[in-house]
């Protein structure tokens, strides 16, 4: 929105119809027409007016303002204009409270056609009314909008006003405290982990996002690391791992021993094994969706922690009344001190790899390893209807290994390096258009790279390997609450993914570089039904993907049914069609020093088909509260 004054032609123009403060309009008129307005500050400070489309004279401006504001404008000598309230103006006031708690509600918006004010911290307000038929709108996010007439205040100008909380239907929780406190199972069959109310699993000294998922049924790790989760027999690359909607291509530190996601920044994790919402593409095996909090923190807090592997810190910084910034970081400290835990982890990770397969004449070796991650989250409540979140995450693993071998009165050195990095960032915007309609827009980027250099001193051979993934995405989702029983969710998603694989050997010289890219456009829609008795929960939808390189359309129907039967039993019926175009392959077991020998590749029409899956499952749940 912008306001322009052309003083040379004395033309006043405005684009759009958004109200701005009367004070700003008066100042611009003073500059444009060389005049001076005289008024009482308190009379006009809360008056808002839609700027005129075009005015080419001072009298025209005065005439417009007299119609659209509750004031009389008198032009005196010397181009001085006095502003006085119209004779029929009167003052009303009130105190706004919650209908259930009877406690005052702070910072509520009160609007008329001519002004807009916000109540104070005690819920109190006052404003001028120039027309007894004036409509007064009282609104606050989370409460039902209240519309009153100025006539309601005639007999009692100051009165108590109550607001009713706006209730949204939520998905019913079927199981609580599943396995441990904070783990539950909802009516769609998904497991949810709430880290604000989480109990530490046996054998762990602090929360770990992926270690927690490993404790759930149907989940295991074939190589006993959190970087290789098998969900119902699927491979790790067939899991869609999301951090605040951003796809993550690296999931672990220390090459599989520690989750790369800071549990103190993660508020909730959802694991979906079947009956996946149509808003998710990829991940034919499962979806692991991690979400941070949207809470605006008003107080500065800081925390630090340390274990036998790494140290961590978390800062929560209020940046304004309606926004806050949270920054978290972790870093290993083995370059300062090597603990027994670190030594055990190191031996486990690097057993049977190039790092530990040394030859018999070795005399000394030197290894340096570190990992770190940093995360950032900025939440901003722009208005009662608008919310924006900015996310950033960087994870890194660095390994340097040098072997010195004494052969034939000569010392040969062999140096191996490995660097693994994952960078993700995104902007999330949510708009509450009305009581029944909300929409979200997310733009994100995710980048992953792994680089290895392996030098063989005996053969004078050096091998360089690289694997790089770059992905950019846009997702738009709208939610329409048809009535308390039905909700319609629809949207569009765009993804562009590029993957590069590079290898180079110096003796004999060989170089290979393969770069591929895919663009996927998807539209999706689903309807959710919840019965008044909460005994029936049904979600039915479909997703249509267009894969650019294949020029192929993939139709993916999804269904999730939860029906309560008898007193303590419920039945789950889950089904889905899914597909994905990214996967991991192993060329040789010694790739990337044998530590991370899997590399990301894209599907292509020649030799790597699109991965698809069709599955349906039937489950019986039993729930009964046991008195303690």
Least confident segment among 120-129, 266-275, 366-375:
120-129
Q: What is the distance between the alpha carbons of residues 45 and 470, in angstroms, rounded to a whole number? A: 51
Which CATH number belongs to the domain containing residue 61 in this structure?
3.55.50.30
Residue 545 domain-assigned (yes or no): yes
Are residue 118 and residue 75 in the same domain, yes or no?
no
DSSP one-letter string for 148-202 = EEGGGGSS-SEEEEEEPBPP---PPEEESS-SSTTEEEETTS-EEEEGGG-PPPT
pLDDT at 601: 94
Q: 37, 65 in Cβ contact below 8 A?
A: no
Q: Give yes or no for a cis peptide into 575 (omega within 30° of 0).
A: no
3-class state of residue 591 by DSSP? helix
Q: 272, 289 in Cβ contact below 8 A?
A: yes
Are residue 76 and residue 105 in the same domain, yes or no?
no
Q: 577, 556 in Cβ contact below 8 A?
A: yes
Residue 187 domain-assigned (yes or no): no
**Residues 181-191 pLDDT 10s:** 667 777 777 88
Residue 96 domain-assigned (yes or no): yes
| Cα–Cα nearest to 330, from 300, 301, 302, 309 | 309
Average pLDDT for residues 606-614, to the nearest whole number?
A: 90
Are residue 432 and residue 572 in the same domain, yes or no?
yes
Average pLDDT for residues 500-510, to the nearest whole number?
A: 90
Final residue belonging to a domain, choices 85, 115, 133: 85
Which CATH number belongs to the domain containing residue 139 in this structure?
2.60.40.1120
Q: What is the distance between the alpha carbons of residues 124 and 92, in angstroms, rounded to a whole number? A: 11
Interacting residues of 301 by C-beta distance below 8 A, sequence separation 6+ = 315, 316
Is pLDDT of 84 > 80?
Answer: no
Q: How many residues does the chain have?
A: 628
Final residue belonging to a domain, choices 163, 193, 220: 163
**Residues 16-32 pLDDT 10s:** 467 788 888 888 888 88
Is pLDDT of 573 > 90?
Answer: yes
Final residue belonging to a domain, choices 53, 85, 117: 85
Are residue 9 and residue 124 in the same domain, yes or no?
no
Q: What is the distance between the alpha carbons of residues 426 and 243, in angstroms, rounded to a whole number? A: 10
Pairing of strands 158-163, 90-98: parallel
Interacting residues of 220 by C-beta distance below 8 A, sequence separation 6+ = 214, 229, 230
Q: What is the distance between the alpha carbons of residues 315 and 374, in angstroms, rounded to a whole number? A: 12
Are residue 65 and residue 104 in the same domain, yes or no?
no
pLDDT at 18: 75
**Residues 188-235 pLDDT 10s:** 778 887 766 665 665 666 677 787 888 788 888 887 787 788 888 888
**Residues 171-182 pLDDT 10s:** 554 444 545 566
Q: 326, 294 in Cβ contact below 8 A?
A: no
The DSSP code for 297 is -
Which whole-number Å values give the CA distances from 609 to 238, 262, 468, in the listed order?
14, 35, 20
Are residue 443 and residue 495 in the same domain, yes or no?
yes
Work out the pLDDT band at 7, boundaries 50, 70, 90: very low
414: tokens are: 């062999």
Residue 589 domain-assigned (yes or no): yes
Are residue 573 and residue 615 in the same domain, yes or no?
yes
Q: 620, 569 in Cβ contact below 8 A?
A: yes
**Residues 307-350 pLDDT 10s:** 888 899 999 999 998 899 999 999 998 888 888 888 888 888 87
Residue 216 domain-assigned (yes or no): no
3-class state of residue 575 by DSSP? strand
3-class state of residue 114 by DSSP? coil
Least confident segment among 378-387, 405-414, 513-522:
405-414
Work out the pLDDT band at 353, boundaries 50, 70, 90: confident
457: tokens are: 């001193």
Q: What is the distance between the alpha carbons of residues 404 and 411, in angstroms, rounded to a whole number? A: 6
Residue 217 domain-assigned (yes or no): no
Residue 268 domain-assigned (yes or no): no
Are residue 12 and residue 151 in the same domain, yes or no?
no
Order the strands of the 109-111 sheet from edge to edge: 116-118, 109-111, 135-139, 146-149
pLDDT at 56: 78
Q: Determine what percent of the chain is predicted with pLDDT higher than 70.
A: 87
Checking 216-221 for CB contacts under 8 A at 24+ apart, the result is 216/179, 216/183, 216/191, 216/271, 218/273, 219/271
pTM for the model stands at 0.69
Task: Look over the chain and give the mean of its residue pLDDT values, rounded to a whole number.
Answer: 83
pLDDT at 202: 59
Residue 177 domain-assigned (yes or no): no
Is pLDDT of 12 > 60?
Answer: no
Are residue 434 and residue 555 in the same domain, yes or no?
yes
Question: How many CB atoms neighbour CB 59 within 10 A?
Answer: 11
Are residue 144 and residue 46 in the same domain, yes or no?
no
Are residue 65 and residue 129 in the same domain, yes or no?
no
Work out the pLDDT band at 11, boundaries 50, 70, 90: very low
461: tokens are: 């051979």
Are residue 345 and residue 483 in the same domain, yes or no?
yes
Which CATH number belongs to the domain containing residue 556 in this structure?
2.40.170.20
Which residue range is the domain that position 108 belongs to? 90-163
pLDDT at 205: 61
| CA angle 93–99–101, rounded 5-degree value | 110
DSSP one-letter string for 299-351 = S-EEEEEE-SSEEEEEEEEEEETTEEEEEEEEEE-TTT---HHHHHHHHHHHT
Number of domains in the chain: 3
pLDDT at 8: 34
Higher pLDDT, 492 or 195: 492
């Amino acid at each position: 929105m912008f306001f322009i004054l052309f003083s040379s032609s004395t033309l006043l123009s405005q684009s759009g119809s958004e109200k701005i403060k009367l004070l700003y309009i008066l100042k611009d008129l003073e500059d444009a027409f060389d005049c001076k307005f005289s008024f009482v500050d308190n009379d006009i400070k809360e008056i808002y007016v839609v700027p005129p489309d075009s005015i080419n004279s001072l009298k025209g401006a005065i005439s417009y303002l007299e119609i659209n504001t509750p004031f009389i404008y008198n032009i005196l000598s010397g181009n001085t204009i006095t502003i006085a309230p119209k004779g029929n103006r009167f003052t009303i006031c009130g105190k706004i409270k919650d209908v259930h708690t009877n406690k005052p509600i702070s910072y509520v918006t009160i609007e008329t056609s001519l002004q807009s004010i916000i109540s104070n911290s005690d819920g109190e307000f006052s404003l001028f009314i120039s027309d007894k038929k004036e409509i007064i709108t009282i609104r606050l996010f989370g409460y039902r909008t209240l519309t009153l007439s100025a006539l309601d205040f005639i007999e009692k100008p100051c009165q108590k006003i109550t607001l009713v909380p706006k209730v949204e239907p939520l998905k019913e929780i079927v199981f609580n405290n599943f396995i441990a406190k904070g783990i539950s199972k909802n009516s769609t069959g998904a497991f949810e982990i709430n880290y604000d109310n989480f109990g530490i699993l046996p054998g762990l000294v602090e929360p770990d996002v992926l270690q927690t998922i490993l404790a759930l049924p149907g989940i295991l790790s074939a190589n006993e690391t959190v970087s290789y989760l098998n969900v119902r027999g699927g491979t790790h690359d067939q899991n869609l791992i999301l951090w605040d909607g951003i796809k993550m291509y690296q999931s672990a530190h220390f090459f599989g021993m520690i989750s790369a996601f800071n549990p103190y920044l993660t508020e909730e994790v959802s694991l979906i094994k079947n009956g996946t919402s149509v808003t998710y593409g990829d991940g034919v095996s499962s979806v692991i969706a991690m979400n941070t909090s949207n809470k605006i923190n008003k107080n500065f807090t800081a925390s630090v922690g340390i274990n036998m592997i790494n140290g961590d810190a978390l800062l929560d910084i209020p940046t304004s009344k309606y926004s806050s910034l949270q920054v978290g970081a972790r870093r290993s400290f083995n370059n300062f001190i090597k603990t027994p835990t670190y030594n055990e982890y190191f031996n486990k990770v690097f057993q049977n790899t190039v790092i530990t397969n040394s030859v018999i004449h070795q005399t000394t070796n030197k290894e340096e390893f570190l990992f770190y991650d940093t995360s950032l989250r900025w939440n901003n409540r722009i208005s009662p209807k608008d919310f924006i979140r900015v996310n950033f995450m960087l994870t890194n693993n660095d390994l340097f290994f040098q072997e010195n071998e004494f052969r034939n009165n000569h010392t040969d050195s062999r140096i191996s390096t490995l660097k693994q990095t994952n960078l993700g960032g995104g902007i999330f915007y949510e708009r509450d258009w009305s009581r029944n309609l909300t929409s979200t827009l997310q733009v994100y980027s995710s980048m992953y790279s792994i680089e290895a250099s392996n030098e063989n001193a005996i053969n004078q051979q050096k091998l360089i390997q690289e694997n790089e993934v770059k992905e950019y995405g846009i997702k738009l989702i709208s939610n329409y609450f048809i009535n308390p029983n039905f909700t319609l969710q629809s949207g569009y998603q765009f993804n562009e993914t590029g993957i590069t694989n590079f290898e180079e050997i110096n003796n004999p010289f060989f170089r290979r570089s393969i770069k591929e890219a895919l663009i996927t456009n998807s539209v999706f829609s689903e309807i959710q039904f919840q019965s008044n008795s909460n005994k029936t929960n049904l979600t039915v939808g479909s997703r249509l993907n267009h894969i650019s390189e294949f020029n192929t359309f993939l139709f993916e129907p999804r269904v999730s049914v939860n029906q309560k039967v008898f007193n303590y039993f419920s039945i789950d019926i889950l089904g889905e069609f899914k597909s994905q175009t990214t996967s991991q392959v192993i060329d040789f077991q010694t790739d990337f020093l044998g530590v991370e020998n899997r590399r990301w590749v894209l599907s292509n029409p020649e030799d790597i088909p699109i991965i698809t899956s069709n599955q349906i499952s039937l489950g019986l749940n039993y729930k009964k509260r046991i008195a303690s």
